[in-house]
Amino acid sequence: MKYLWIILIILLGNSCNETPSINKNRALAKVGSKVLMKRELPDLYKDGISTKDSIALANKFIEDWIRKELLYKEAEENLSRSQQNEINYRLEDTKASLSIYYYEQGMIRQKMNAAISEKEINDYYEDNSNTFKLKDNIVKAIFIQIPASSPNIKDVKKWYKSDDDNDLNELESYCYKYAKKYDDFNEEWVSFSFLLKRFPKIITTNTERYLRYNKGMEAKDSSYYYFASIREYKLKSSVSPIEYVENQIKSIIFNQRKIKFINELENKLYIDAKTNNKFEIY
């Protein structure tokens, strides 16, 4: 590697008592014509970091910067013309891609309608329902965890599987008083495997059969009783309920709308430019 003129000024040793806002325009190091300014250092004045550690971090940053600049300059001096042209092309292409991306995102935020109606969601679901096959068994359920010392557990065993409103009200009142957990998962669908993880041990070799023939689940360890009332279930490979895939459908519709918007934007720019002779094809 060729010798390069290097001037290294370690500033923190002489100014460790300065505040971060002072002397930001002072040079710390130089490699060839490239100068590292103090303002380019990361913030080293953080709580819990000693002055000694701050200086060590600054020195490490400066040394790494010098090594990188030395290697960069050496590489530039040894690149062939074709390699230089390739780098320039890639830099220009990257700049163009980033510029287009930020422009399109800005136009999407400003001009594109992002609201998605329930009708759009329902229509998409009806037209594409076969693409929304479940990859897991799902349930709507109520999960209850009650300390083993709680009274009247036999009543809980009766209430939690009941469809009677009075029984369910009794259960809710009891759980607010005694239960460690009482969770209906916001009345939304959850995977059956997720529910099973809340139990200490329930062995189900055939989960589909279990769901078909069991409305409730019970378990006990040394500290708690565990109950789950399965209100509804859908089996793996069946069509997902619309509410289970609603967010997915919204994302699909939004992305389709975004692609259409960008294509229309590009086409309009092209047609306008062609009409006004803003480009030529040779």
**Residues 157 and 227 sit within 8 Å (Cβ to Cβ):** yes
Residue 69 token pair? 């600049």
Residue 133 token pair? 């096959």
> Whose CA is closest to 160, among 217, 208, 220?
217
Mean pLDDT split into 10-residue runs, the chain, 282 residues: 42 45 76 88 71 84 93 92 94 96 95 93 95 94 95 94 92 94 94 92 80 90 94 94 95 96 95 92 90
Residue 53 token pair? 């550690």
**Residues 40 and 53 sit within 8 Å (Cβ to Cβ):** no
Rg of the chain, C-alpha, whole Å: 33
Position 47 scores a pLDDT of 63
Residue 141 token pair? 């359920």
Position 18 scores a pLDDT of 47
Position 204 scores a pLDDT of 73
Measured torsion, CA atoms of residues 262, 266, 269, 273, in degrees rounded to the nearest 10: 180
* Angle at the Cα of 208 from the Cα atoms of 202 and 211, rounded to 5 degrees: 65
First to last CA, the chain: 47
Position 20 scores a pLDDT of 46
Position 46 scores a pLDDT of 62
Give whole-number Cα distances, 231 to 152, 158, 159, 165, 211, in Å. Answer: 23, 15, 13, 14, 10
**Residues 58 and 44 sit within 8 Å (Cβ to Cβ):** yes
Q: Where are the alpha helices (DSSP H) in 191-245?
A: 192-196, 207-213
Residue 244 token pair? 């289970």
Position 53 scores a pLDDT of 82
**Residues 188 and 245 sit within 8 Å (Cβ to Cβ):** no
